[in-house]
Amino acid sequence: MSMWLHQSGDALRLAARRLIASPVNTLLSVLAIGVALALPAGGQMLLANALQLARNSTPAPQISLFLDLDADKRAIRDIDGRLKNHPGVKAYRLIPREDTLARMKANEGLADVIEALPKNPFPDAFTVLPADDRPEAMEQLAAELGKLSKVAHAQLDSDWARRMAALLKIGRTGVLLMALLLGVGLIAITFNIIRLQVTTHRAEIELSRLLGATDAFIRRPFHYFGVLLGLAGGIVAWMIVAGATWWLRGPISELAQLYSLEFSLRPLALVDSIALLAVAAALGGIGASLSLSKHLRDD
């Protein structure tokens, strides 16, 4: 194990030296990879911000529980306790029937009609804010709460949630498709760069084989070269997205203020940043492996 770690360390240092030995070629390759990766990474950043803006600017979907007209205070307390202890309920509020009647009387068009009624026709109601805003989860919660004792009807307006879920699905699909296409391009870039590296160090490879070096030993520096190249491209991509975020934050904040919205453009999330670097390094390694498998075998 210690021997493998020692050889891997030597191979990693050799790969780094080869990158530094050709600064212009390395810089151009890293920039090409960085720009390619910045497009899906920037799309993911914009998608996350758009989702946050939509959630902040649009009323969250709620479940309305209308109780039976004969529901007494004991039934209301029982429903209140169930909602308080339910894991799927984020928040809730009781709307007494007296408040609903007073609000309707305040409406000039309905005041005379309400006064003519012999008694209060409105039921007590609860408005429930679900913890999970996925359409299927809210529908399941509404169906469950609708079965509670003294609940006459559970009403859910899930149109907003469904529209948001559909738009989010389209956005994620678009970002994923872009990432796949540009990922293939990154592999192709690394493939050609490693091919040139193999051609440049052909004499060194042949000498290593004559000295009894294994294929794994010969491959290792080239493989690490591809990984480091991809990782460097990922860092450049992250810097491009971070710079674009900083550049756009001011104008977007000004635009949000014109629409009375409290919104500030957020940078790429930590999880997405780590995923970007990991995927970049992995794609660089894949491109190197494919190139090594072809060109070293041909030799």
Q: What is the pLDDT of residue 29?
A: 85
Question: If you write DSSP's letter for every residue of 166-201 in order, what string do you get?
Answer: HHHHHHHHHHHHHHHHHHHHHHHHHHHHHHHHHHHT
Alpha helices in the chain (DSSP H): 2-21, 23-57, 73-84, 97-105, 108-116, 135-146, 159-200, 202-210, 215-258, 270-298
Q: What is the pLDDT of residue 158?
A: 64
Q: How many angstroms separate the CA atoms of 40 and 48, rounded?
A: 12
Residue 274 has pLDDT above 90, yes or no: yes
Mean pLDDT along residues 33-39: 90
Average pLDDT value for the chain: 80
Q: What is the pLDDT of residue 143?
A: 87
What is residue 87's DSSP assignment?
T
CB 145 within 8 A of CB 151: yes
Mean pLDDT along residues 91-101: 83
Take residue 266 and report the two structure tokens written for it: 């957020």
Q: What is the pLDDT of residue 49?
A: 86
Q: Cβ contacts of residue 123 below 8 Å, gap of 6+?
A: 66, 67, 68, 69, 71, 97, 152
Question: Which domains are seen in the chain, by residue range?
Answer: 2-57+163-298 (no CATH), 63-156 (3.30.70.3040)
Take residue 183 and report the two structure tokens written for it: 């990922």
